[in-house]
Amino acid sequence: MAKKILVVDDEPDIRESVKMILTKNGYNVITADNGDQCLQKAKQENPDLILLDIMMPGTPVSEVVKQIKNIKIAFMSVVRISDARKRGLTSQENIVDFFQKPFNVSDLIDRVELILNED
Amino acid sequence: MDEDKYNISKIIFSKINRKLTLLFIIVAVIAPSFAIYYFYNLSITLSENMTPQTTLLLQTITASIIILIALDAGVIGFLVSKSISKPIKKLYTATKKLEEGDYNIKVDIKTGDEIQRLAEAFNKTTAALSRLEEERKELDTAKTDFLSITSHELRSPMTPMKAQLQMMQEGYFGKLTKKQKESLIIITRNADRLDKIIVDFLEISRIEAARLKFNFKEIDPADTVKETVKFMDGFAKEKNIKLKVDLDDLPKIEADPDRISQVIRNLINNAIKFSENKSKIEISAILNDDYIQFSVKDYGCGLTHENQIRIFEPFYQVESSQRRRHGGTGLGLAICRGIIESQKGKIWVESREDKGSKFTFTIPLKPVKKIEPIKILFSRRGLIERKIKEEFKTVLGPLGVNEFEELKKQNSIDKNDLLEYIDYLTNKHIITDERGNYFKNHISLIYGDKKGVINEKRDTSENVFQGEVVKRN
């Protein structure tokens, strides 16, 4: 069964690009464009992985993350990982990876594969 | 210091003169009048019997009265002159503080005369200066806030752009012709370059705003250097270059290890770029009284005179085929300079064409916790040079411009170099002493105060390269 990934980013071009990449590599992709939608879709669809942008309008990402504890989350961010760590965003157990934007396509695929094959 | 000798005769404050005159009249006329009156009475009563004792008594009394009058005049005179010189001294001290940049000075003078009015005018002026300073700071903050917001916006398009380019290159949308592949490579390379420039620009704006986050902690600088060198070893190996480390015994200091590492990495990166395969790069650290001096020395192609002068400028890049291969934004050294100078250190280069280059920077032993904003993109240096050039034109006429250019080529336009040069001119009677002093004063004014820049005397005793050593900051 194809793994399901939820891609959350407020920029449509990034959402579409990441969706394209993942779909081409055999994943089932759903999208959301802000924190609230992310929580909604996470509950509805129960994805295997959430790719989450850090800087989005609306509910802050830290709040969103606190409410999702049982699904793997990987951040996608322009912000550097050290800054994210300083903001306390990386302390939860289900946060498994950090993609610095702009990311490398093959790198994204490899790491997503690794994350999802860990079960 | 001609400004120190204030000429009392030039102070025509009528009220003060009236004060003075009145008081001295009291002393000079009224007091003696009393004395004369007393004596008159005394002489009448004593005119019949003038015994030797009486004469002696008379003389003693006369003497005492004269001394008393003298004392009296002296004391009052002193008090009066104090009442003038004290407020003037207050104004002078306040003006000195203003020179140092403290615009919150207020002078408190309540003498009820023109000096008080002068003080009030002075206070109004400093208030205005203080307001201007506030405005300037606000403008600066607005500018850098604007920069950081737009920088985020500038970076965002990079992500989908690069993602789509990569997908195209990896055949996500079908097979590509050779020409299409080549075209994509060019686009990707320039997209990467643009991205790097934006990142560096963000960094510079943070440095300028002094919003660089410095994380000061107690570190062993030797460890920092060794870790950085280890990190760069991988890159060096690609060109078979050896990285050699030679450190003095360095004490633990309070500093930001990430920033020091950043500077060293940048210098080593440049050294690798401009070195041949199989050469070596030497990283050293010397302990000095107030600072630690770090150096990165390479044996590569070195820098031309022109390049040495301009290499710390933002966006300036050395023209060479090697540079084209490695890209780069031209901001690396400008950022290094910003990091080092905002900690009150210095960074400079010594180089000889075809022999190599040695980049050196200093970190003060006493950490400077209050980071001041530093101008990188619009540097004071350019402004200072223009002003000096104008001064040369004023004092020496049209030939002055040539003289200035010559001195600039020889790297002798620092304050002390120029003062020495002016002395030389006056000694050879090329200009009069008076002109020379005028010239020197103006040059000193242009250079203003260089607060807090330590180790101004650079270590020229060690000639790294034989022959002409050219040092440039």
Q: Touching check for A21 and chain B: CB below 8 Å?
A: yes
User: Do the domain assignments include residue B147?
Assistant: no
Note which residues in 48-87 of chain A have CB less than 8 A from chain B: 55, 78
Report yes or no: B271 and B298 within 8 Å, Cβ to Cβ. Answer: yes
User: Do the domain assignments include residue B471?
Assistant: no
User: Do the domain assignments include residue B17?
Assistant: yes
User: Do B260 and B319 lie in a common domain?
Assistant: yes
| Mean predicted confidence (pLDDT) in B77-102 | 79
User: Do B12 and B83 lie in a common domain?
Assistant: yes
User: Do B16 and B102 lie in a common domain?
Assistant: yes
pLDDT, one tens digit per residue, over B174-228 is 999 999 999 999 999 999 888 888 888 777 777 776 656 667 788 899 999 999 9
Q: Residue B309's beta-bridge partner residues?
A: none
Q: Residue B45 pLDDT more than 60?
A: yes
Note which residues in 128-167 of chain B have CB less than 8 A from chain A: 152, 155-164, 166-167
Q: Residue B135 pLDDT more than 60?
A: yes
Q: Residue B468 pLDDT more than 60?
A: no
CA nearest B393: which of B381, B406, B402? B402
CA dihedral A28, A34, A37, A41 (to 10 degrees): 20
Alpha carbon distances (Å) from A84 to A38, A93, B294, B420:
19, 15, 32, 54
Domain boundaries, chain A: 4-116
User: Do B199 and B223 lie in a common domain?
Assistant: no
3-state secondary structure B146-180: HHHHHHHHHHCCHHHHHHHHHHHHCCCCCCCCHHH
Distance from CA of B143 to the nearest CA of A (A): 21
The residue type at B262: Q
Which of B377, B404, B421 corresponds to the end of one domain? B377
Residue % of chain B over a pLDDT of 90: 18
Per residue in B354-375, is it b (16+ CB within 10 Å) or e — as a string?
ebbbbbbbbbbbebbeebebbe
Tell me, rounded to whole angstroms, the distance of Cα B282 from its chain centroid: 31
Q: What are phi and psi for residue B467, nearest 5 degrees?
A: 80, -145
User: Do B257 and B358 lie in a common domain?
Assistant: yes
CA–CA separation, B80 vs B227, rounded Å? 71
User: Do B226 and B371 lie in a common domain?
Assistant: yes
Q: Residue B460 pLDDT more than 80?
A: no
User: Do the domain assignments include residue B353?
Assistant: yes
Domain of B390 in residue numbering reads as 380-447
Q: Is there a contact between A17 and B155 if contact means CB atoms under 8 Å apart?
A: no
Q: Residue B13 pLDDT more than 60?
A: no
Mean pLDDT of chain B: 78
Q: What are phi and psi for residue A75, nearest 5 degrees?
A: -80, 145
Task: Provide, as residue numbers in chain B, all residues whose Cβ is less than 8 Å from the Cβ of A78.
Answer: 152, 155-156, 159
CATH architecture of A4-116: 3-Layer(aba) Sandwich (3.40)
Q: Residue B283 pLDDT more than 90?
A: yes
Return the higher-pLDDT residue of B359 and B472: B359
The model's confidence at residue B419, banded by pLDDT at 50, 70 and 90, is confident
User: Do B77 and B6 lie in a common domain?
Assistant: yes
CA nearest B373: which of B100, B132, B140, B200? B140
Return the higher-pLDDT residue of B148 and A58: A58
User: Do the domain assignments include residue B15?
Assistant: yes
Structure tokens at B189: 């390379």
Report yes or no: B245 and B225 within 8 Å, Cβ to Cβ. Answer: yes
| Mean predicted confidence (pLDDT) in A45-70 | 89
CA nearest B192: which of B169, B223, B215, B218? B169
pLDDT for position A24: 92
Q: Residue A74's beta-bridge partner residues?
A: A51, A97
pLDDT for position B379: 62
Domain count, chain B: 4
Report yes or no: A22 and A5 within 8 Å, Cβ to Cβ. Answer: yes
pLDDT for position B21: 64
Q: Residue B59 pLDDT more than 50?
A: yes
pLDDT for position B310: 79
Is B182 exposed, middle or buried, given 0-12, 13-18 or 19+ CB atoms closer than 10 A? exposed
User: Do B346 and B424 lie in a common domain?
Assistant: no
pLDDT for position A28: 94
CA nearest B357: which of B312, B424, B422? B312
User: Do B101 and B165 lie in a common domain?
Assistant: no
pLDDT, one tens digit per residue, over A72-109 is 999 988 777 777 777 777 788 888 899 988 888 999 99
CA–CA separation, B428 vs B173, rounded Å? 79
Return the higher-pLDDT residue of A40 and B396: A40
Q: Is there a contact between B166 and A104 if contact means CB atoms under 8 Å apart?
A: yes
User: Do the domain assignments include residue B454?
Assistant: no
pLDDT for position B426: 86
Mean pLDDT of chain A: 88
Structure tokens at B268: 């080593």
pLDDT for position B307: 81
| Mean predicted confidence (pLDDT) in B362-391 | 74
User: Do B227 and B337 lie in a common domain?
Assistant: yes
CA–CA separation, B347 vs B337, rounded Å? 6
User: Do the domain assignments include residue B143?
Assistant: no
User: Do B407 and B347 lie in a common domain?
Assistant: no
User: Do B109 and B200 lie in a common domain?
Assistant: no
User: Do the domain assignments include residue B453?
Assistant: no
CATH number of the domain enclosing B227? 3.30.565.10
